[in-house]
Homo-oligomer: A and B are copies of this chain.
């Protein structure tokens, strides 16, 4: 950056800073203000992918207290997706979000300059907004079920220099949902359908491989694991796409339930690793011939807005 601009910028920012101006005339203020210098600079290295991941704190208990369906509660997952949508609408530099279970990862493009890449700002703001939207939208997805205590998420910032690193990160999270969901599906069928205790179900699954669990599900419960809802098996990918709503195109946040470990995903959405501009959404070929509810809710709002003109 040009140095002279930096100086002007600095001066401008100071002059617009009301607190600073106030303090010039206040002895009390300037006497204590040295404490501000104890704040640490925490700018993130430029030109790397920034991942912010939020994770539910104690959601094992939270899901029990709030009687979530086992092994997956579709509404609770959509509430997570809704919170993530709020975050993506606020931060235009998030190009992809990925959620599974009680966690969500937000991918900021390498070039983002949001909050001057200050790590604590980014981390706390994303985590707070996600939490806020989760609590505020609770009744919209969970109906009459009352919130018993405030749910809470922790967050972390992780940096990935190369596109391959980023893909490996997302593959890691998606491999995780596969392993956990297959286990949980088998576990809860043993408990809820076959009447085993938690301990018995755990013992039965100990040491089994993926193939064994697939077989168990099919043989004992007639369940073809691969035909279960993709959202449960693969997690939810949120992308920014231009969607046809009646006769106009709008940029919306679109949920995708796809395999992001394979190259195909990245070829289908070339905007992600290239020079970023939102892609186009093909309403007709949407999965299961049915638009996901998270999307139809957004489309509904746009329609109301269009009609009210």
Q: Which of A84-142 contact B (CB under 8 A)?
A: 86, 110, 120-121, 123-125, 127-136
A30 partner residues in chain B, CB cutoff 8 A: 2
Residue of B nearest to A6 (CB): B14
Q: Which of A156-164, A188-196, A217-225, A243-251 contacts B (4 or more CB under 8 A)?
A: A156-164
Residue of B nearest to A183 (CB): B22
Q: Which of A173-181, A263-271, A297-305 contacts B (4 or more CB under 8 A)?
A: A173-181
Report whether A1 and B172 are in contact in the complex, using a CB–CB cutoff of 8 Å.
no
Expressed in whole angstroms, the minimum distance between the Cβ of A201 and any Cβ of chain B is 15
Expressed in whole angstroms, the minimum distance between the Cβ of A302 and any Cβ of chain B is 17
A121 partner residues in chain B, CB cutoff 8 A: 154, 156
Report whether B150 and A132 are in contact in the complex, using a CB–CB cutoff of 8 Å.
yes
Q: Mark A32-75, 1 if CB is under 8 A from B, else 0.
A: 11111111110101111000001001000000000000000000
Say which residue of B29, B147, B172 sits within 8 Å of A176 (CB atoms): B29
Tell me if A214 is interfacial: C-beta within 8 Å of chain B: no
Expressed in whole angstroms, the minimum distance between the Cβ of A217 and any Cβ of chain B is 18
A151 and B130 CA atoms in complex are apart in Å by 10
Tell me if A20 is interfacial: C-beta within 8 Å of chain B: yes
Known: A22-B183, A45-B45. A152 touches B165 (CB 8 A): no
User: By DSSP majority rule, is chain A's interface helix, strand, loop, or mixed?
Assistant: helix
Identical copies of this chain, number? 4
Report whether B159 and A35 are in contact in the complex, using a CB–CB cutoff of 8 Å.
no
Residue of B nearest to A166 (CB): B35
A135 partner residues in chain B, CB cutoff 8 A: 131-132, 135-136, 150
Expressed in whole angstroms, the minimum distance between the Cβ of A159 and any Cβ of chain B is 6
Report whether A153 and B175 are in contact in the complex, using a CB–CB cutoff of 8 Å.
no
Report whether A128 and B147 are in contact in the complex, using a CB–CB cutoff of 8 Å.
no
Expressed in whole angstroms, the minimum distance between the Cβ of A51 and any Cβ of chain B is 9
Say which residue of B43, B131, B179 sits within 8 Å of A40 (CB atoms): B43
A120 and B119 CA atoms in complex are apart in Å by 9
A40 partner residues in chain B, CB cutoff 8 A: 43, 45, 158-159
Tell me if A288 is interfacial: C-beta within 8 Å of chain B: no
Tell me if A19 is interfacial: C-beta within 8 Å of chain B: yes
Report whether A25 and B153 are in contact in the complex, using a CB–CB cutoff of 8 Å.
no
Tell me if A169 is interfacial: C-beta within 8 Å of chain B: yes
Tell me if A28 is interfacial: C-beta within 8 Å of chain B: yes
Tell me if A4 is interfacial: C-beta within 8 Å of chain B: yes
Expressed in whole angstroms, the minimum distance between the Cβ of A234 and any Cβ of chain B is 13
Expressed in whole angstroms, the minimum distance between the Cβ of A295 and any Cβ of chain B is 20
Expressed in whole angstroms, the minimum distance between the Cβ of A25 and any Cβ of chain B is 7
Say which residue of B37, B152, B169 sits within 8 Å of A128 (CB atoms): B152
Say which residue of B20, B131, B161 sits within 8 Å of A45 (CB atoms): B161
Per CB-CB distance, the 3 closest pairs between chain A and chain B, nearest first, are: A32-B172, A132-B150, A124-B155
9 additional A-B pairs beyond A32-B172, A38-B165, beta carbons within 8 Å, are A23-B179, A26-B179, A37-B46, A39-B156, A40-B43, A45-B161, A110-B161, A123-B123, A129-B152
